[in-house]
Amino acid sequence: MPGHDDQPGVDAASGSAAYARGVSDAPNQPDPTPVTTPDTGPDSSPHPSPDPSTRTTRFAVVWSALLGSVLLGAAVWLSVTSWSVLRAGHPAHRLTLVATGVVGALLILRAVLLQRRGPRAGSASRRRWPRVLGRTVAGLATVVVVGSLVWLVPFAATPPAIAAMSGSAGVRVTDATTTITLTPETGSATRGLVFQPGARVDPRAYVPLLAEVSRSGVLVVIVKQPFDIGFLAIDAPASAIAAHPEVRTWAVGGHSLGGVAASSYAGSHTDTVRGLVLWASYPLGSLAQSGLKVASISGSADALATPADIEASRVDLPGDTAYTVVEGGVHAFFGDYGEQPGDGTPGVSREDAQRQIVEATAALMASLPAS
């Protein structure tokens, strides 16, 4: 029958339409084939490389903060622990300490600003070696500055020496920016001594001994050296001499490295300097033909300016030099600043040793013409 002949075609058409509707209405299914990209493996999430500019900025922030913290921390620590002794000396040390703290604070501020600003476009494309060189130099400079500031903190004067700054019977003490002046109160002094402290020693440590010398009628000017190093104040006697025209005859002297600095000045200023006092010290060059009156005072137990050193210096001093050896005396007995590392073992009391030092110094000053 014609109806039966047409039925299979109708059913096939209906099935195709239903299948098409089913595919169209079905939810989207993920493609089972994994996607591979140059930067990722199959089924992995992308991990972009860090921006080189970000790495550069981050390192600059950390480096600036680190150097700034070291500088500022050192300045604060030294100010807290050593300000009293630094305040007593030449202002160069204090000013350098303040400048160090300021630089440290600025570096920390720079780190904060860099962090807030973020990476700068193109910063990573600049040549790398200048940045590395600059950071290396900055790091080395920080180590040198901090190490020097710590090492240069002087041996502090003992409490009795600090108390002597108030003056004593017959002696007036004047504490100025770059000098400590001891003036005898009995008459006008016509002889003067400019004294250079030892390296890294609080200048106040010499006041008790030199006050005794001043009491004999001598004007004494103790130099406050920059960073307490004599070679940084070799010409300091010139201003001290100019400031006291009433003094007719001058000698210079010093302890240890201060004596070396004093000998250098004396050798080149024999027109204004007549005498030289060496405490546990020796001359920088030959003064054998200088015409200076010289007193060399040393300790037999000194392990820093040893008896052998003093003996070797005889050839560089005038033939009429007065030598005084304090038996059992050590390097630190020439001032009141406690013990000194590397020094010898004393075989005499500090009081007895200092009495001999004062007597020998006063004798040299008394031997100089008064006018």
What's the rounded Cα separation, in Å, for the pair 338 and 357? 17
Query: Is 7 a domain residue?
Result: no
pLDDT-derived band at 241, boundaries 50, 70, 90:
very high
Average pLDDT of 349-354?
Answer: 98
pLDDT tens sequence across 93-148: 999 999 999 999 999 999 999 888 876 655 555 567 787 898 899 999 999 999 99
Torsion (CA) 298, 300, 303, 308 in degrees, nearest 10 = 80
Assess whether 188 and 111 both reside in one domain: no
Residue 274 · residue 292 · CB < 8 Å: yes
How large a percentage of the chain has pLDDT more than 90? 75
Residue bearing the bigger pLDDT, 267 or 121 = 267
Say what the pLDDT of residue 284 is.
92
Q: Cite the DSSP H helix spans in the chain.
A: 2-25, 52-87, 91-117, 128-151, 159-163, 207-215, 236-242, 257-268, 307-312, 350-367
| Cα atoms in the 13 Å half-sphere on the side-chain side of 63 | 16
Domain hosting residue 362, numbered range: 159-367
Looking up tokens 């240890």 gives 256
Kindly report which listed range (35-39, 83-87, 245-249, 289-293) carries the lowest average pLDDT score. 35-39
* Residues in CB range of 36: below 8 A, 6 or more apart: 42
Assess whether 145 and 281 both reside in one domain: no
Query: Is 194 a domain residue?
Result: yes
Assess whether 121 and 210 both reside in one domain: no
pLDDT-derived band at 60, boundaries 50, 70, 90:
confident
Average pLDDT of 289-300?
Answer: 98
Say what the pLDDT of residue 232 is.
98
pLDDT-derived band at 187, boundaries 50, 70, 90:
confident
Say what the pLDDT of residue 299 is.
99
DSSP 188: -
Which three-class secondary structure state does DSSP give residue 200?
coil
Q: How many domains does the chain have?
A: 2
Which three-class secondary structure state does DSSP give residue 218?
strand
- According to DSSP, the β-strands at 249-255 and 275-279 are parallel
Assess whether 169 and 285 both reside in one domain: yes
Residue 47 has pLDDT above 60, yes or no: no
Query: Is 176 a domain residue?
Result: yes
Nearest CA-CA partner of 255 in 238, 224, 235, 230: 230
Nearest CA-CA partner of 361 in 182, 200, 230, 236: 182
Say what the pLDDT of residue 285 is.
94
pLDDT-derived band at 9, boundaries 50, 70, 90:
very low
What's the rounded Cα separation, in Å, for the pair 176 and 183? 13
Query: Is 363 a domain residue?
Result: yes
Assess whether 280 and 297 both reside in one domain: yes
Please provide the DSSP assignment of 108-163 as one string. HHHHHHHHHH-PPTTGGGS-HHHHHHHHHHHHHHHHHHHHHHHHTPPBPPPHHHHH
The CA-based angle 276-279-285, given to 5 degrees, is: 55
Nearest CA-CA partner of 330 in 288, 290, 301, 307: 301
| Cα atoms in the 13 Å half-sphere on the side-chain side of 147 | 6
Assess whether 188 and 62 both reside in one domain: no
Query: Is 246 a domain residue?
Result: yes
Query: Is 41 a domain residue?
Result: no
Assess whether 344 and 204 both reside in one domain: yes
Provide the 10 A C-beta neighbour count for residue 9. 9
Looking up tokens 């493609």 gives 31
Residue bearing the bigger pLDDT, 243 or 38 = 243
pLDDT-derived band at 53, boundaries 50, 70, 90:
low
Assess whether 172 and 110 both reside in one domain: no
Query: Is 32 a domain residue?
Result: no
Residue 6 has pLDDT above 80, yes or no: no
Say what the pLDDT of residue 249 is.
98
Residue 337 · residue 365 · CB < 8 Å: no
Provide the 10 A C-beta neighbour count for residue 163. 14
The CA-based angle 184-190-194, given to 5 degrees, is: 75
What's the rounded Cα separation, in Å, for the pair 262 and 52? 59
Query: Is 45 a domain residue?
Result: no
- Mean pLDDT computed over every residue of the chain: 88
Residue 181 has pLDDT above 80, yes or no: yes
Say what the pLDDT of residue 132 is.
84
Assess whether 288 and 358 both reside in one domain: yes
Q: How far is CA 220 from CA 32, 89, 196, in A?
A: 100, 17, 11
pLDDT tens sequence across 160-173: 999 999 998 899 99
Return the CATH number at 190: 3.40.50.1820
Assess whether 74 and 185 both reside in one domain: no
Assess whether 67 and 186 both reside in one domain: no
Assess whether 146 and 205 both reside in one domain: no
